[in-house]
Amino acid sequence: MKKICVVTGTRAEYGLLYWLMKGIQENPELELQIIATGMHMSPEFGLTYREIEKDGFTINKKIEMTLSADTPSAISKSTGIGIIGFSDAFVDLAPDIVIVLGDRYELLAASAAALFARIPIGHIHGGETTIGAFDEAIRHSITKMSWWHFVAAEDYRKRVIQLGEDPQRVHLVGGMGADGIENSILLSKSNFEKEIGFNLGRKNLLVTYHPVTLENETSKDDFNELLKCLDQLNNTNIIFTLANSDTHGRVINSMIHSFVDDHPAASKAFISMGQINYLSALKYVDAVVGNSSSGLLEAPTFKIGTINIGDRQKGRLKSHSVIDCVPSEVSITSAIAKLYSTDFQTNLKTVENPYAGGNASDKIIEILINNPVPEHIKKQFYDL
């Protein structure tokens, strides 16, 4: 059997990987290995490795790498600690293939260690652009370290090839988020409210906002502009998901807790909702508000709006359910007004998710089975 080692460092990424991991686990030709790292191992972020184990998976290695700070220096040091941990883990597990999804620094550490160990990497969701975050550079760096590429859209397939990758190893499989929605059994509204301990209102927003890592000291001011808008809303309940461990994420989380303390009846914050609760939230809220990729990759499947603030997701494909705005009170207020306008709500009925390719996990598993593990990972740059 081929040993497929899946690396996961965050709650959101695990939600996207769940069905792929389940498919590998159930396939007699493949052996699943799991490495949990990053935010999964942090008490501050909910020790979410326990959700992986609760879902019936065995975690082969747990790598603690996230320091209790989110300064640029701490992120660099965390990445270095991660490389050390992954180096030892790959020696012990001896995987045939390492699978990573996305663009976070935990995956940069895993990919560097796999490259040095001469283990081929399968990279999911490459070729995308996010101008406002250092994820952009990390994503393209992982692309250059990877052997197989599993992309979400044709534009991204072309971009990975533009980066010099062999077209025969660049596979258009569709988005993992849309794939997961199709496979999931979501909660009824009453069961969802019971599960999260929070009642929905006449209007409901899901707010998920992360640091814009290529800007200096903007997170606090930008997020405060959003909170000022939310504070002015009437008859609107708000579900917050806390920010990730990137630089200035803790500043955002502190502001969220303060807002919830001031609005206990109309808002609630979650370190981790879990995949089913999160997707069920998308089913019942009016929009995703913030700068998370979920507003672009998953929300359109539910035919709800997305208010996309700032540059963090700038460059990604977007459906017409996405309203772009700048991080100012005036712009965000205008976007919320547009969200609830009759014309916009009518147009939501025709929304199509540009990432909905269908059966992405099954396509990846088929490729892993049918393609031999390379004897070496020497790559010739593919010139256009």
The sign of the torsion formed by the CA atoms of 299, 304, 307, 311 equals positive
Residues 207-229: tens digit of each pLDDT: 999 987 666 667 889 999 999 99
Sheet order of strands, 61-63 included = 61-63, 30-37, 2-8, 97-101, 121-124, 148-151, 170-172
- Residue 380 burial (C-beta neighbours within 10 Å; 0-12, 13-18, 19+): exposed
Residues 262-317: tens digit of each pLDDT: 999 999 999 989 899 999 999 999 999 999 999 999 999 999 999 999 988 888 89
* Position 91, amino acid: V
Euclidean distance between CA atoms 13 and 231, whole angstroms: 30
Query: What is the pLDDT at residue 12?
Result: 87
Residue 78's alpha-carbon distances to 85, 86, 106, 344, in angstroms, are: 10, 12, 8, 43
CATH 3.40.50.2000 in the chain, residues?
2-175+357-370, 189-350
Which residue numbers in the chain have pLDDT < 70? 132, 213-217
The token duo for 207 is: 């707010």
State the CATH architecture for 2-175+357-370.
3-Layer(aba) Sandwich (3.40)
122 contact partners, CB below 8 Å, separation of at least 6: 97, 98, 99, 100, 146, 147, 148, 149, 150, 364, 368
**Torsion angle of the four alpha carbons 32, 373, 10, 250, in this order, in degrees rounded to the nearest 10:** 150
Pairing mode of beta strands 148-151, 287-290: unpaired
Contact call for residues 126 and 156 (beta carbons, < 8 A): yes
CATH superfamily of this structure's domain 189-350: Glycogen Phosphorylase B; (3.40.50.2000)
Residues 178-218: tens digit of each pLDDT: 888 988 999 999 999 999 999 999 999 999 999 876 666 67
pTM of the model: 0.90
